[in-house]
Amino acid sequence: PLKSSKVSMSSGIDGGDVRVEGGGDDVSAGKKGRVCYYYDREVGNFYYGPNHPMKPHRLAMTHELVLAYGLHTQMSMFALRKATPTELAQFHTEDYVDFLGRVTPETQHEYVSLMQRFNLGEDCPVFDGLGDFVRLYSGGSIDGARRLNHGLTDVAINWSGGLHHAKKGEASGFCYVNDLVLAILELLKHHARVLYIDIDIHHGDGVEEAFYTTDRVMTVSFHKYGDMFFPGTGALGDVGANRGKRYSVNVPLRDGVDDRTFQSLFQPIMERVMEVYQPGAVVLQCGADSLGGDRLGCFSLSLDGHADCVRFMKKFRVPLLVTGGGGYTKHNVARCWAYETAAVLDAQISESIPMNAYMEYYAPEYRLGVASRWCIENANKVAYLNHVKKVVFDNLKDMEIAPSVQMHEVPPDWLVQLEPEVLKDGAATGQDLFGSGFAPPKRRRREDEREENMNNGVQHH
């Protein structure tokens, strides 16, 4: 099924108050330097095309909220570096990487067979600057992993990353290059075991597939499964193969998952995984399409229900890479990732959204937490949840505890300068390097508003 084939009506985040206090841009004291953050104004300017659910503009909106809340003063801020073709080819095939770098909207008609071979088209269109886009978001995840490897940070944040569907030689589900796999490969240079966690509503199939036969990476995905929901993988019985048997954990869920239901599985399962697997580093993909009210989603998580996953994993004090992912009601995506940036920093921020360049997107409430205009019944009955938990725990019980690995000489970082362009303390607003207040062309904004209006109150199949 096409990822874009199931579009839901909505414009809000379901349930509950946001756990915030204080006013304006107050933040609690943090340890600057122990959290690093990657962004570049260019990454928010890319455009998949009219009527496409994926809006990179959500990244500009997220960054604007981060600045407005003053969170940038608590982190080391780095510009996204464009990953090199050599770096991308650590996972992807060279011919696929080369094609992404040279195909354009004007020339795509010349490559009909290659477009089909690499699965470019409706879900994964060719748009202006595609090659630069994939290099930018991938560079952020790779560089974040490197800083974690060298002990230069405790948590690295790249909201532009998390494109978990991309395969070795093809695009899938709005994803072209799998930055998560590339980041994990970097982490494996220094860590015997790496844990990948996915809370996107869609199964993290690309990452699972890449590491399905190894015990050096454990993948854990909490996702909607069934009803022809994209990508159709991630069954409870899919547990890995060969040396990787039992090192893939899938938690398939049904419509309407709320905070209590999600955390009743997430926390005990992740507690047990951390106890048994003992990873040296963790990668957490925070796809925001699992929030209530997402255009392509059918869960009912609130901001706090989603952010509780970040808080829970942070308490283990293991090097942590946090990325974005899905999320198609973009003003709620920005709310979510700005709030989770605060969660990483242990910062308390106001529920009232501070003045920023995208204020009109948060009307009429102008608040972080917004009640959903519609509700999906929670189809996850207690008996089903108990069954899922039992099967997962049985698999973990039979797994080897903290499998050992023979570590060899650490491969090089491809001679890439470890210190990317950094935002100096004197540029307190973040405008010099990243830019603040970028607005898309009026034509694009009108198209976005028209699409969102069409999806407000009408469900498409």
Annotated catalytic residues are 165
What is the identity of the amino acid at 89? A
In the sheet that holds 35-39, the strands lie side by side as 76-79, 35-39, 155-158, 320-323, 281-285, 194-198, 217-224, 248-253
Q: Which of 275, 286, 170, 239 is nearest to 392 (CA)?
A: 239
Q: Rounded to whole angstroms, how far apart are CA atoms 434 and 211?
A: 35
Q: Rounded to whole angstroms, how far apart are CA atoms 461 and 458?
A: 10
Residues 6+ apart with CB under 8 A from 302: 13, 14, 15, 16, 18, 259, 291, 292, 369
Six-digit token string for 265:
């599985």
Cis peptide before 231 (omega within 30 of 0): yes
Six-digit token string for 289:
């399409």
Query: What are phi and psi for residue 100, nearest 5 degrees?
Result: -60, -30
Residue indicated by tokens 């998949």: 48
Q: Rounded to whole angstroms, how far apart are CA atoms 75 and 444?
A: 32
Q: Where are the beta strands (DSSP E) in 246-332?
A: 248-253, 281-285, 320-323
Query: What are phi and psi for residue 352, nearest 5 degrees?
Result: -80, 125
Q: Rounded to whole angstroms, how far apart are CA atoms 186 and 120?
A: 27
Six-digit token string for 134:
């994939």
Residue indicated by tokens 């993988």: 233
Kind and range of the H or E run holding 218: strand 217-224
